[in-house]
Chain A
C-alpha cells in the first residue's frame, strides 16, 4: 500500500443462502478501518456491474485501485477492469478478494483477512504464512467403510496408530452389503473381507465399533477427541460368536444390514463375516433393558463364556490424535419421497439396496430373486409382505434410473454410481432368471470409467432391454403392476406390466453430516457434501489443517475411486507424520496475524 493510494472496496453479495452467511456489513466496517480505503459499498445479489457508471464513480472519487470482494468475485472482474481503463486508471489495479478460494465462506474473520490482503495488495497465501506444528503420530479415522478401511490399513501398516471409529457394530460400510461389484463382477465379499479381517488383526488399529465422535478440540497436529462408546452389553474379548445368545433371544426387529427385508434378534451379529466377529445386544430392542431388568435375560444364562453384561452403560473415552480422516460415506435417497413410484406402498417396488440384499447369497432368500409373498405374522397378528424362498420368480423386471438424482425437486447432481450398479442388477437378473425380461429405463447412460462402456455393451448383448426415457409412474393394476413411461427414441408411450421394479436411488450426504461438519469446523458445498480444500489440486485436504476427507462423504464416487482417494489421504497423513516438518496449516491463523503479515509485506510488493 502506498500512502497516496485511494482504494474503493466493492463487497458483492453472490448466490443464495449458504454463501451469504457472511455478514458483509461487518466486513464493510472492517474494510473502512484499513489504511488507504476511501470508500466501501455493498452490492446486492444479482447486481450487474455497469462499466460506464462505475467509470464515472472511479473518476469522481479518484480511486486508483479497486478491491472486488465476494464468494467468487472473478465473475465481475471484466466489468471493473473496463471501468478502470475508461477512467484512465490501470486495469491491473482491480484486485479480487475471493472468499471461496481462500476458505472464507464460513468465517467472518477469514473474510475480513482476505479483504485486508487485497487492500494491501499482498497475495493471501503469502500473508497467511503456513504454520508448522508438531504432529501427534496417532490418527483418527471416522467411518469404517471401504474408504476408512483403506486409509486405516495404509497408515497402520506404516507403523502408526489409528483409531478407527465406526458407528455400526461392524466395519465394511455399504460395500459389505453387495453381492458383486461392477464392472468386473468380482464377488464383493471376496475382495472386501480380507481387508476387513486385516483391520481386525492389525495391532496398530484400535477398532471402535458402535462408537461415535462426540467432541473435537485442539489444533492441527494435536486434536483432543471425545469418543462415545455405546454399550454393546457383550464383552468382545470373551465372545466366541457361538450364536447361542441370539438363538434364544425373543425380540425380532428389522435388520439394518439387510435394509429391513429380513429380521434380526436383539442379540445379533450383522452378518457372519462381521469385523469384529462378535455379537452385540441392541438395547433398544432388548426386553431386559426395556423392562428395566425385570423380564427376560435368557441369553445371560445361555452364554457359557459369561460374556454378557446386560447392565453395561455407554462410556466416553478421550483420545489424542494429530490427524483426522473423515470417511463417513453416504445415505441413499429415500424413494418414499417420490410418491408416483409407489415405493413403500407397492410391495414389489424395491430400492437398490434392498435388491442388493435380496440377490446376495447371505440375504433372506440365499440370493434367489423372488417377488414378495403375503404371510401371516403371528407375533404382529397381521398379514405382511415378505421375501420367502417359496416366492415366485418375477417375469418382468424394470429398473428405473436417476431416482432422486438429477432432479431439481430432489438432488440436482448425478449420483455417478447408479447407472453402473443398475447394469450390474440387470446382469444379475438375466444370469439368475434367463427366462425373465429385464428393462432399464434411463435418461443418459453414464458409463465413464475403465471398462464401463464395455460392461454396458455386454449387458445389452445379454438381452437386457434398454429404454431411453425415465418412466413416470408405477401403479397397481389387478394383481400386478404397470409402469408408464415414454420411450423417447421411438416416440411411444410404454405401458409395461411388471412384477418387480428396482429404483436406482441416488446417494446423498448422511444425516449427521452438518453436525459433524460443525464439530470439525469443516464447510459443506451446496449439495451438502464435505468441501475439499481445492477441487482440482487438493481434493483430499480441507480448510482445517490435519483434517482430510476420503470416499463418498466428499461426493458420489464408486469403489475404485474411493479406494484411490483413501490411499491418497493416507499418503498425506504419513507425510505430515514422517516428513519431519510437521503439519502445514493456515486455518487457525487469527485475523490480526494475517493482516499484520500483509502489512509487513506490502512495501516489498510495491517495489
Chain B
C-alpha cells in the first residue's frame, strides 16, 4: 500500500487527446461513485480514476480495471456538481487503455488523430479493392460474369470447392482471422500483465482463475453486467448488436458453404444471416441517430472513433445486403463488383478496428470483468483487514 506513486505531469494533457476534457473540474465530492450503479466494493468507479488522472498517476491508471466496469450510462455526469463529466472521462480512459495495451502503438496513433485513423481505413479500403480486383482477374476465374463455384471471379474456395480446399477467398478469411487473433491475443496478454501484476493488485492463485472462468463466456454472451444499469435500453441495443455481429462472424467463418452459393436460399442458415443483418442495421442506426442528436448524456461527446465504428458496420451491412440481392436475383457481374466494394469496408474494419480500434473492447471488457472477479475476494479481505468499522472517519 505504501508504494510511492510516480507522477507524470503530462498525463492529463495526454488523456485529453483521447477525449477527457473536464477532469480538472472535479473536486472529489464522491457523488459519482455513490451514484454509479456499477460502483460496488471493492471497485468504486469513477471518482478514483478522476483522482489518478489529476495526479498523473499513470502506472496506477494503466493497471486499473475500473474504466472497463463502466458502461457509460451517464448517471454520474448528470449528477456531477462540477460538470467534470466523469462518464466521458471513463470512456476516454478506455480509449487510452486500449492504446496502452496495444504493443504496436497503432492504436495510440488512431485515437490521437482522427485523420490518421480515417486515412488508414480509406487507404486500406482502396488497397483491398485493388487487391481483390487483381486477384479476381489473375488468380481466380477471371470471369466477372460468374459469381459461384470454382470458376467464379472470386471463388470462395480453392480447386476442390470444399471447406478444406485452399486457395479461395475463404483461405484469405482464415489467414486474416488467425493474424488478428494473434495481435489481439498479445494485447490481451499485456492487459493481463498490467492489471494483475502491479503494486495494487492482490496476489491470486491459479485456483481463483479457474473458479471464476465461467464469468468469461457468460458475460461475453449475456452482457449481464451492462443489464445492471438503471437504464435498460442501451444494454438491449448493445446486446442485439453484439449477438448480430457474432452470428455474422460464425456464419462466415464456419458456415460459408451453406450461405455462399446462390441463387437458392438455404433458410436454415440464411435465417440467421437475415436476423443478424436487421440487428446490425438497427443497432448502428440507433447509435448514429443518438450521437447526431445528442439524445442521451452518453451521446453528448463523440470522439471520431465513436463514429467510425457504427459507420463501418453500417457500410458493411448495406453493401452486404446489396451484394446478396444482386447475387440472388441473377446479376452475377454486379454481385462481384458490389462484393469488392463490400470487402473494401470489411477488411479495414477487421484489420484496423479489431486489434487497434474500438472493436477491441469486445475482448477487453469481458476480460476486465473476469479479472475483477478474480481479484475481488482478495481485495475485499484486504479492505476488511484495514478498516474494521466502515466509514467512520472519526477524528481524534
Contacts and interface: CB of A to CB of B under 8 A. Distances in A.
Interface of A: 340, 402, 406-410, 443-444, 460, 463, 465-473, 484-494, 496
A365 B83 CA distance: 42
B83 A490 contact: no
B391 A491 contact: no
Contact of A488 (B35, B41, B47, B79): B47
B33 A486 contact: yes
B293 interface: no
B39 interface: yes
Interface in B382-396: 383, 387, 390-395
A342 to B, nearest CB: 14
Contacts of B174: none
Nearest to B81: A407
Given A469-B29, A470-B30, A471-B34, A489 B79 contact: no
Contact of B391 (A443, A470, A472, A496): A496
A488 B28 contact: yes
Given A340-B79, A486-B44, A460 B391 contact: no
B393 A467 contact: yes
Contact of B28 (A443, A463, A492, A493): A443
B303 interface: no
A488 B391 CA distance: 9
A487 B389 CA distance: 12
B157 to A, nearest CB: 57
A427 to B, nearest CB: 15
B238 interface: no
A396 to B, nearest CB: 12
B151 interface: no
Given A465-B394, A467-B391, 19 more contacts: A406-B81, A409-B79, A460-B394, A460-B395, A470-B29, A470-B31, A470-B81, A471-B34, A472-B32, A487-B30, A488-B28, A488-B29, A488-B33, A492-B41, A492-B390, A492-B391, A493-B39, A493-B44, A494-B34
10 contacts: A407-B82, A409-B79, A470-B29, A471-B34, A472-B30, A473-B34, A487-B393, A488-B33, A490-B391, A492-B391
A402 B31 CA distance: 12
B383 A492 contact: yes
B392 A465 contact: yes
Interface centre among B28, B41, B81 (most CB of A within 10 A): B81
A460 B39 CA distance: 30
A470 B81 CA distance: 10
B393 A485 contact: no
Contacts of B34: 469, 471-473, 484-486, 493-494
B44 A472 contact: no
Given A409-B81, A443-B28, A487 B391 contact: yes
A520 to B, nearest CB: 33
B27 interface: yes
Contacts of B79: 340, 409, 472
A466 B395 contact: yes
A486 B83 CA distance: 18
A468 B393 contact: yes
**The 8 nearest A-B residue pairs measured at CB:** A486-B30, A469-B30, A472-B34, A407-B81, A494-B391, A487-B391, A470-B29, A460-B395
Nearest to B392: A465
A223 B75 CA distance: 53
B82 A466 contact: no
Contacts of B29: 402, 443, 469-470, 488
A8 B48 CA distance: 52
B60 to A, nearest CB: 12
Residue from the set A340, A471, A486 with the largest chain B CB neighbour count within 10 Å: A486
Contacts of B390: 492, 494
Q: Which of A340, A402, A470, A484 has the most CB of B within 10 A?
A: A470
A471 to B, nearest CB: 6
B31 A472 contact: yes
Nearest to B41: A493
B35 A492 contact: no
B30 to A, nearest CB: 3
A402 to B, nearest CB: 8
Nearest to A406: B81
A484 B34 CA distance: 6
B127 to A, nearest CB: 42
Contacts of A444: 27
A317 B331 CA distance: 94
A127 B394 CA distance: 62
Pick from A471, A488, A490 the residue with the most CB of B within 10 Å.
A488
A490 B391 CA distance: 7
A411 to B, nearest CB: 10
A431 B392 CA distance: 20
A394 B9 CA distance: 48
A472 B82 contact: no
Contacts of A402: 29, 81
Interface string B106-135: 000000000000000000000000000000
Contacts of B48: 491
A488 B393 CA distance: 10
Contacts of A494: 34, 390-391
Contacts of A465: 392-394
Nearest to B28: A488
A463 B396 CA distance: 9
B39 A490 contact: no
Nearest to B82: A408
A492 B44 CA distance: 8
B393 A472 contact: no
Contacts of A493: 33-34, 39-41, 44
A407 B31 CA distance: 11
A443 B387 contact: no
B36 to A, nearest CB: 9
B3 to A, nearest CB: 15
Contacts of B383: 492
Contacts of B27: 406, 443-444
B387 A490 contact: yes
Contacts of B33: 486, 488, 493
A407 B28 CA distance: 12
B2 to A, nearest CB: 15
A190 to B, nearest CB: 31
Nearest to A463: B394
Nearest to A486: B30
A466 B391 CA distance: 10
Contacts of B41: 492-493
Contacts of B82: 407-408
Contacts of B39: 493
Contact of A408 (B35, B83, B395): B83
B81 A485 contact: no
Nearest to A485: B34
A409 B392 CA distance: 29
Interface string B68-100: 000000000001011100000000000000000
Tell which of B31, B35, B387 has the most Cβ of chain A within 10 Å. Answer: B31
A467 B48 CA distance: 17
B58 to A, nearest CB: 19
Contacts of A488: 28-30, 33, 47
A472 B31 CA distance: 5
A472 B35 contact: yes
A403 to B, nearest CB: 10
Interface string B370-387: 000000000000010001
A469 B394 CA distance: 14
Contacts of A492: 41, 44, 383, 387, 390-391
Contacts of A487: 30, 391, 393
Contacts of A467: 391-393
A597 B231 CA distance: 67
Contacts of A490: 387, 391, 393
Nearest to B394: A465
A340 to B, nearest CB: 7
Which residue of A410, A466, A490 has the most chain B CB atoms within 10 A of its CB atom? Answer: A490
